[in-house]
Amino acid sequence: MDDPSFKVTIPENTCEIQQGEEQFIITCNDGREVQIRAHDYDEIYKIPGLYEHLFYENYKCKSPAVICSELVNAVENSNQKISNLKVLDVGAGNGMVGEELLSAGVESVIGIDIIEEAAMATERDRPGIYEDYFVEDLTKLPADVEKRIVNESLNCMTLVAALGFGDIPPHAFAEAYNLISESGWIAFNIKDEFYSEKDRTGFSKLIQHMTDGGILDVKSKKHYVHRLCQDGTPLEYFAIIGQKHDDIPTSMILN
């Protein structure tokens, strides 16, 4: 970013902390100084360009591009058209995934996020990306909002870099998944440890039950580097693309 309106300093002795706990001191041009963690999204979104600077310029995040590219390939390999997709972008943040989706040629994108600051940042930085943007908790979705989303007949869900850290729990994932029409496309990523036998978030078992039960037909699974950690360690994820064949029953939601 050229001439950013802030300066980022990493506090001493914080380079080896875990993902999501990375710490930064942000000094703005107006003299304000705030200390934030990597998952303090509400604070990060308040400062224009800070999210992009931290995760895409400093830590080389590739996930929006990887997920959208894998989705396009899977759709085209199934002899379908990406231009027919109407997408629900879950955990939409400040619109980076939505922007990638439109560039890839989807018909339209609706965003949903639980953070008000995310919607404000999208309107500020990427106006017009989403047909609509809802600030809602998916586990407590108001009936009128659910009806509006369902009436859109969405046939694709994307969810990027939000699973396994409490941002979007299995219950919320299931609620979003069930808003997508049958045979719709599902594209998401998940940290490799949350997709293993060591997982304690509930996602590994949920995805396994979905695939074993024929609820999700996985078309592609790619192991890749999501981004770098504060000490330069690569954070490895899986990009998973599939087609929905049925809703997730309540009995299958483990958390």
- Residue 255: the pLDDT is 45
- Residue 22: the pLDDT is 79
Q: How far is CA 128 from the centre of its chain?
A: 19
Contact partners, residue 191, CB within 8 Å, separation at least 6? 19, 163, 164, 226, 235, 236, 237
- Residue 1: the pLDDT is 42
Q: Which domains does the chain have, with CATH numbers?
A: 6-58 (no CATH), 63-252 (3.40.50.150)
d(CA 111, CA 223) in angstroms, rounded, equals 26
Q: Are strands 23-28 and 6-9 parallel, antiparallel or unpaired?
A: antiparallel
d(CA 178, CA 131) in angstroms, rounded, equals 20
Q: How far is CA 125 from the centre of its chain?
A: 18
Residues of the chain with pLDDT under 50: 1-2, 255
Any alpha helices (H) in the chain, and if so which ranges?
41-45, 50-51, 63-77, 96-104, 116-125, 143-150, 170-177, 203-212
| Token couple for 16 | 């080896």
- CA distances from residue 223 to 191, 238, 240 in whole angstroms, order as listed: 9, 5, 9
d(CA 135, CA 207) in angstroms, rounded, equals 26
- Residue 250: the pLDDT is 85
| Token couple for 6 | 């802030």
Contact partners, residue 151, CB within 8 Å, separation at least 6? none
